[in-house]
Amino acid sequence: MKKLAIIFFLMLGAATGARGSVAEADSAYMHDDFLNAAALYQEAIDSLGPSVERYYNLGNAYYRAGLNGMAIVSYERALRLDPSNSDVRDNLEFVNSRITDRIADSNSLFGSAADSVARVMHPNVWAWIALGCFVLALGGVCVYFLVDGVVMRKIGFFGSGVLLILCVVSNMLARRGTRAASASDEAVVVSPSVILSTTPRQPKDRTEEAMLLHEGTKLKILDSIPGTGGKDRMWYDVKVDNSHRAWVSSEAVEII
């Protein structure tokens, strides 16, 4: 019993301390101490767990500190928790408009459109809509088979067909949103600039230099291998857009 009491008070103390760090972070932010505010917001995330508000505040602190790459990472993490949050999306679009590199969207037109629609609501909401459409479609089938009126049977038949289509579409959007929220294959350049390499190591000369990218550029990770010589933790094989693919050190990027 005493052990349980000790654990309870330790957990209570940790939670109180974490909430205190949020208040301290807010105070630091208001006094323009943005790097300290970012560290305290991150401490609150580590202690209390991730939330849209905490990542949103963290992104704001990083942006005001001039760290656009980490600001983008924070906003992206917030959107994975709630892709429909307009405040986070507006700030992300604003910071993206201020980065140096302009990378074309590597998704197809259909994929980009589907992602835009999926972000309108949380994946759980799309899942509930799919379930509701399915239940209503079953009701339409029952109307078709059990009701004698021609008009009602037509409504039941065509209505159930439309609802089944909406069920499939909503389920697809829910799965797409869930997959995007749990993906670990995207990263953002957080160094002021980095030269990507044609091989998984630091370029030895210009022939091994693939391209120069700047802070805030978003990359898709295709593969990874351990670095050599103890200098780099990992090397990532990344896709920049549909035309460019190269290697980048894990020290220059942050995985979303």
Instruction: Give the CATH number, domain containing residue 24.
Output: 1.25.40.10
Chain segment 165-205, per-residue pLDDT in tens: 999 999 999 998 888 888 889 999 999 999 999 999 999 99
Chain segment 86-108, per-residue pLDDT in tens: 999 999 999 999 999 988 776 66
Assess if residue 104 is contained within a domain: no
* pLDDT recorded at residue 68: 97
* pLDDT recorded at residue 19: 62
Q: At what angle do helices 2-30 and 52-64 cross, to 10 degrees?
A: 40
Whole-number Å distance between alpha carbons of 110 and 126? 18
* pLDDT recorded at residue 182: 81
pLDDT at 8 over 50: no
Residue-number span of the structural domain to which 146 is assigned = 110-182
Domain match, 88 and 41 both: yes
- The residue among 218, 238, 242 whose CA lies nearest residue 108 is 242
Instruction: Give the CATH number, domain containing residue 199.
Output: 2.30.30.40
* pLDDT recorded at residue 230: 56
Assess if residue 214 is contained within a domain: yes
Assess if residue 33 is contained within a domain: yes
Domain match, 154 and 208 both: no
Domain boundary among 46, 63, 96: 96
- The residue among 157, 160, 155 whose CA lies nearest residue 134 is 160
Largest CA distance in the chain: 81
Assess if residue 16 is contained within a domain: yes
Domain match, 195 and 221 both: yes
Q: Between 35 and 84, where is the model more confident?
A: 35
Domain match, 142 and 194 both: no
Domain boundary among 139, 158, 182: 182
Question: Among the residues of 31-122, which ranges form H helices?
Answer: 34-48, 52-64, 68-81, 86-96, 109-118
Work out the pLDDT band at 117, boundaries 50, 70, 90.
Answer: confident
Assess if residue 9 is contained within a domain: yes
What type of residue is 41? Y
Whole-number Å distance between alpha carbons of 73 and 30? 22
Domain boundary among 62, 96, 130: 96
pLDDT at 26 over 80: yes
Domain match, 115 and 175 both: yes
Assess if residue 17 is contained within a domain: yes
Domain match, 22 and 87 both: yes
Assess if residue 172 is contained within a domain: yes
Chain segment 52-68, per-residue pLDDT in tens: 999 999 999 999 999 99
Domain match, 247 and 216 both: yes
Considering its fold, how many domains does the chain have in total? 3
Assess if residue 101 is contained within a domain: no
pTM for this one? Answer: 0.80
Average predicted confidence (pLDDT) for the chain: 88
Domain match, 6 and 83 both: yes
Domain match, 90 and 174 both: no
H or E stretch at 129: helix 123-146
Work out the pLDDT band at 227, boundaries 50, 70, 90.
Answer: confident
